[in-house]
Amino acid sequence: MNIVVQKFGGTSVRNLECMKQVLEKVMVPYEQGNKVIVVLSAMSGETNRLIALAKEWSKTPDLAEMDSLVSTGEQVSTALFTMLLKDKGIKARSLLGFQMPIKTNTAHSRARILDMGSDEIFSLLDKYDILVVAGFQGCTEEKRITTLGRGGSDTSAVAMAAAVNADVCEIYTDVPGVFTTDPNICSQARKLDTVSYDEMLEMASMGAKVLQIRSVEFAKKYNVKVHVRSTFSDEIGTFVTQEDKDMESVMVSGIAYDKDQARVTLAKVLDKPGVSATLFTPLAENGVLVDMIVQNPSRDGRTDMTFTIPRADLEITLEILDRIKDEMGAQEILYDQNVCKVSVIGVGMRNHSGVASKAFQALRDENINIMMISTSEIKITCLIEEKYTELAIRTLHNTFGLDKSGSVENML
Amino acid sequence: MNIVVQKFGGTSVRNLECMKQVLEKVMVPYEQGNKVIVVLSAMSGETNRLIALAKEWSKTPDLAEMDSLVSTGEQVSTALFTMLLKDKGIKARSLLGFQMPIKTNTAHSRARILDMGSDEIFSLLDKYDILVVAGFQGCTEEKRITTLGRGGSDTSAVAMAAAVNADVCEIYTDVPGVFTTDPNICSQARKLDTVSYDEMLEMASMGAKVLQIRSVEFAKKYNVKVHVRSTFSDEIGTFVTQEDKDMESVMVSGIAYDKDQARVTLAKVLDKPGVSATLFTPLAENGVLVDMIVQNPSRDGRTDMTFTIPRADLEITLEILDRIKDEMGAQEILYDQNVCKVSVIGVGMRNHSGVASKAFQALRDENINIMMISTSEIKITCLIEEKYTELAIRTLHNTFGLDKSGSVENML
């Protein structure tokens, strides 16, 4: 049994006309004799409408009820789309999170998939040629509805593909694929033919909105071949796959950025054991996601601790710091909202030296000051002033020859 | 454990303001220490919106998908209402058809409840003080969502009350109770304090919209005390209960009517065995609900067959008759859309003679011609010209003294 999984986002199913375009996409693998699993998001705007409704009813809506509420979005889109299939005489049915079931933990609004029940899906595929699966939703052991967080339909699709060992998991979206950088900023941005799971993870964590980060983790874990492509054309998109030799021959695959950042410094902290725990434990407890952390070598028994956080969390972070600053002996709290993270990403870095220094030089040549640096095996991230974002991206894109379609060969 | 079931219709939950009124109603039995099961319909207009959407997508929407679609209406209202309860710190949760589960057969769009799982409900009532149940929906053995037909939330509520042996099943609606007749037609219509299951069944089958007919059958079967009352006042409404001695002492409880009728006559049919089957089998197969049937004694081997149907089914009925009229040897097809059924209802008829003749006389005195008559143990129905509807109702209401609040005593 050859199985193709296709996922369509909210924009792709926003009205009847768009759903008919989706229908055409679905008919392609179906008419080739494949079984097709179609994963749908809610019609665009619907999830936001439901959230707004809940906010009218309660300032802090109960999360379990919120999940029951917003999951109706996908229930509506899957029912409507299946009606189109049934009208064509196709053996099809909609499939909700509780019906499969997609078992998750009980973390409402950001649940994690625990189990998919491959046997159940295979036995449904014996009876139906097309299954229309409600993305974004799952179900706890106690049959309560959960949701997987924003963009969770990507994860639903990849998890389905993993469960049935599908040939490919096609993620249809409103862009043609994964680009070397944001085409809105850099006109020379180029669509990538392939990108590795790790590179995609780094890009997603930097705020690239093409795929939900957990879906990429899932794809990597279960080795699902993901094909990111456009609903509105027939063009081949970008394959997200296991790393191969060719990929490693390319030093840099893309430039990512994230403007949604703020930098905070706790100045002249008493440098004694446990000081990091004192600082970061209350932040974690309040759900503040700390990213880059820099601690300077101590002088005179005091040190500066600097870190970055999502800009929306600045207020609560400052409140927390104010509470603990005396305990830490800190003499000052500094912060800056006008910052941006820019990252150079590529699995090839593992085998090529000099990527970092080349990036630093390029930024220096444009007089862009680097405020913080962090590195991973396949990524170099620099925190810079926000106003230099576009300049930095274009400069780095150019420096690593990402505009050249033959860059793979160039680097060999 | 004392349990109260309360059901609120779409008008009662149509927006936040109305839901807050519902909240007050729910707090009454809760604060008296009862466990409360609240059954909600979809916010008013929502079900129609979803049906219209489906009709845009497909001329003949798949019924299973339709059920999955429209059941979201109750999923939304129950989640929102539960948020209000949680905000007050009450141990509450929403409960969907598949969660209970409310097991039904597979007749999508008009499913029948098979089983309610009392044990599951009791164990939920150990953990929660208020359960907010999505009305109108159930779930098949194979976990597909079903709906119970228009007004199905009434049946959900009565079924819940039966399953947990609730003290009372309160049906909140936008009228104060069950009336002797339609107050819009007869200003002297009076709210009834009690009405028997059988009387309510006859009234519901005549188009009284207060309760879904199946909910009354359920209430009768499981002896559930139903209290029909208004969401918008504290007034006591009407109790629908088992018949008792007092009730039988009243000859007539109410006058009902149904304008949604058409009369069809197949004239001079060859009167041979099987002729009724030839006529009514194809009608039943096409879902036409035939009500009153009259067959005159045959003359010269030929007879006239007259019956009534819902007005909306007239077109298909005439098509079917046209196909079979030769087979039946019928010489003519006659029909009339301008007719109305008027019924006199009362369990007391069993013990009192003369009700029928009294009714016929009253209509004759107003020169209202009776076209067809049918009777049951507790009902006399006359088919009359539609234009006499209001006059007939007022006349009969007056004839049987229904305007007098002391009519129970009058009849003793």
pLDDT score at B271:
84
pLDDT score at B47:
92
- What average pLDDT score do residues A328-342 get? 93
How many angstroms separate the CA of residue A113 from the nearest CA in chain B?
Answer: 19
Contact criterion met (CB below 8 Å) for B382 and B372: yes
Q: What does the alpha-carbon distance between residue B412 and residue B410 come to, in Å, rounded to a whole number?
A: 6
pLDDT score at A409:
35
Per-residue confidence band for B353, with pLDDT thresholds at 50, 70 and 90: confident
Task: For B37-76, write each residue's pLDDT tens digit.
Answer: 999 999 999 999 999 999 999 999 999 999 999 999 999 9
The residue range of the domain holding B276 is 255-401
pLDDT score at B360:
93
Does the pLDDT value for residue B409 go beyond 70? no
E strand or H helix at A4: strand A3-8
Q: Which of A121, A140, A174 is the last residue of a domain?
A: A174
Find the largest Cα–Cα distance for chain B: 79
pLDDT above 70: percentage of residues in chain A = 97
Q: Are strands B145-147 and A238-241 parallel, antiparallel or unpaired?
A: unpaired
- What average pLDDT score do residues B215-236 get? 93
Q: Which residues make beta-bridge pairs with B39?
A: B7, B133
Contact criterion met (CB below 8 Å) for B225 and B162: no
How many angstroms separate the CA of residue B226 from the nearest CA in chain A?
Answer: 29
Contact criterion met (CB below 8 Å) for A65 and B82: yes
Do residues B226 and B311 both lie within one domain? no
What's the mean per-residue pLDDT of chain A? 91
DSSP assignment, residue B368? Answer: P
Asked if residue A85 belongs to a domain, the reply is yes
- What average pLDDT score do residues A105-123 get? 91
Do residues B199 and B273 both lie within one domain? no
pLDDT score at B407:
45
Asked whether the beta carbons of residue A68 and residue B19 sit closer than 8 angstroms, the reply is: no
pLDDT score at B296:
79
Q: What does the alpha-carbon distance between residue B245 and residue B254 come to, in Å, rounded to a whole number?
A: 18
pLDDT score at A81:
98
Do residues A140 and A267 both lie within one domain? no
- What average pLDDT score do residues B207-228 get? 88
Do residues B18 and B130 both lie within one domain? yes
Task: For B140-174, write each residue's pLDDT tens digit.
Answer: 999 999 999 988 999 999 999 999 999 999 999 88
Do residues B269 and B395 both lie within one domain? yes
Give the domain CATH number at B65.
Answer: 3.40.1160.10
Contact criterion met (CB below 8 Å) for B402 and B410: no
Q: Which of B242, B268, B288 is the last residue of a domain?
A: B242
Per-residue confidence band for A289, with pLDDT thresholds at 50, 70 and 90: confident
Please state the φ and ψ torsions of residue A204, each to the nearest 5 degrees. Answer: -65, -40
Sign of CA dihedral A361, A362, A368, A369: negative
Say how many domains are in chain B: 2
pLDDT above 90: percentage of residues in chain A = 72
Cα separations in angstroms, A263 against A270, A364, B91:
20, 21, 42
Q: Tell me what percent of chain A is helix, strand and coil, each rounded to the nearest 5.
A: 40, 25, 35
What's the mean per-residue pLDDT of chain B? 91
User: Which region holds residue A36: left if phi is over 0, alpha if psi is between -120 and 50, else beta?
Assistant: beta
Mutate to test the interface with A, among B50, B76, B80 (most CBs of A within 10 A): B80
pLDDT score at A376:
86
Is the ipTM value over 0.85, yes or no? no
The Cβ of residue B174 has, within 10 Å, a number of other Cβ atoms equal to 12
Does the pLDDT value for residue A194 go beyond 60? yes
Q: What residues of chain A lie within 8 A of the CB of B72, using their CB? A: 72, 75-76
**Binding site, annotated residues of A for ATP:** 7-10, 173-174, 209-210
Q: What residues of chain A lie within 8 A of the CB of B65, using their CB? A: 79-80, 82-83, 86, 93-94
Do residues B67 and B198 both lie within one domain? yes
pLDDT score at B65:
98
Q: Which of A174, A198, A222 is the last residue of a domain?
A: A174
Q: Give the pTM.
A: 0.84
Task: For B304-328, write each residue's pLDDT tens digit.
Answer: 889 999 999 999 999 999 999 888 8
Q: What does the alpha-carbon distance between residue A306 and residue A321 come to, in Å, rounded to a whole number?
A: 12
Q: What does the alpha-carbon distance between residue B110 and residue A83 come to, in Å, rounded to a whole number?
A: 19
How many angstroms separate the CA of residue A71 from the nearest CA in chain B?
Answer: 9
Q: Which two tokens stand for residue A185?
A: 């900023």
Task: For A372-388, write each residue's pLDDT tens digit.
Answer: 998 888 999 999 999 99
Cα separations in angstroms, B325 against B251, B278, B370:
43, 10, 27
- What average pLDDT score do residues A68-75 get? 98
Asked whether the beta carbons of residue A75 and residue B71 sit closer than 8 angstroms, the reply is: yes
Q: Which two tokens stand for residue A334?
A: 């500094």
| Residue that has been written with the tokens 């109960």 in this structure | A62
Asked if residue B261 belongs to a domain, the reply is yes
Task: For A384-410, write each residue's pLDDT tens digit.
Answer: 999 999 999 999 999 999 988 544 433
Q: What residues of chain A lie within 8 A of the CB of B71, using their CB? A: 75
pLDDT score at A162:
94
Asked if residue A387 belongs to a domain, the reply is yes
Q: What does the alpha-carbon distance between residue B48 and residue B165 come to, in Å, rounded to a whole number?
A: 33
Q: What does the alpha-carbon distance between residue A152 and residue A215 come to, in Å, rounded to a whole number?
A: 8
Do residues B77 and B47 both lie within one domain? yes
Task: For B79-110, write each residue's pLDDT tens digit.
Answer: 999 999 999 999 999 999 999 899 999 999 99
Mutate to test the interface with A, among B18, B57, B130 (most CBs of A within 10 A): B57
Do residues B299 and B183 both lie within one domain? no
Asked if residue B67 belongs to a domain, the reply is yes
Radius of gyration of chain B (CA): 23
Does the pLDDT value for residue B17 go beyond 90? yes
- Identify the weakest region by mean pLDDT among A52-61, A236-245, B50-59, B247-256: B247-256
Task: For B332-349, write each residue's pLDDT tens digit.
Answer: 999 999 999 999 999 888
pLDDT score at B405:
58
Radius of gyration of chain A (CA): 23
Asked if residue A378 belongs to a domain, the reply is yes
Q: What residues of chain B lie within 8 A of the CB of A69, using their CB? A: 75-76, 79-80
Asked whether the beta carbons of residue A54 and residue B96 sit closer than 8 angstroms, the reply is: no
Q: What angle do CA B378, B383, B387 make, to 5 degrees?
A: 130
Do residues B207 and B277 both lie within one domain? no
pLDDT score at B411:
38
The Cβ of residue A238 has, within 10 Å, a number of other Cβ atoms equal to 23
Do residues B218 and B327 both lie within one domain? no
Asked if residue B134 belongs to a domain, the reply is yes
Give the domain CATH number at A366.
Answer: 3.30.2130.10
Q: What does the alpha-carbon distance between residue A139 and residue A153 come to, in Å, rounded to a whole number?
A: 14
Mutate to test the interface with B, among A19, A55, A62, A120 (most CBs of B within 10 A): A62
Q: Which two tokens stand for residue B233?
A: 């006042």
Do residues B226 and B326 both lie within one domain? no
Q: What residues of chain A lie within 8 A of the CB of B58, using their CB? A: 83-84, 86-87
Which of B57, B84, B143 lies nearest to residue A58, judging by beta carbons?
Answer: B84
Kindly write down the DSSP assignment for every residue of B338-364, as one continuous string.
EEEEEEEE-GGGGT---HHHHHHHHHH
Asked whether the beta carbons of residue A19 and residue B57 sit closer than 8 angstroms, the reply is: yes
- What average pLDDT score do residues B362-391 get? 93
pLDDT score at A405:
59
Does the pLDDT value for residue A328 go beyond 50? yes
- What average pLDDT score do residues A291-320 get? 89
Contact criterion met (CB below 8 Å) for A265 and A306: yes
Residue pairs spanning A and B at CB distance below 8 A: 101
Q: What residues of chain B lie within 8 A of the CB of A76, using their CB? A: 50, 53, 69, 72
Measured between CA atoms, the residue of chain B closest to residue A93 is B65
**Binding site, annotated residues of A for substrate:** 47, 74
Asked if residue B411 belongs to a domain, the reply is no
DSSP assignment, residue A202? Answer: H
Do residues B96 and B214 both lie within one domain? yes
Asked if residue A197 belongs to a domain, the reply is no
Does the pLDDT value for residue B408 go beyond 70? no
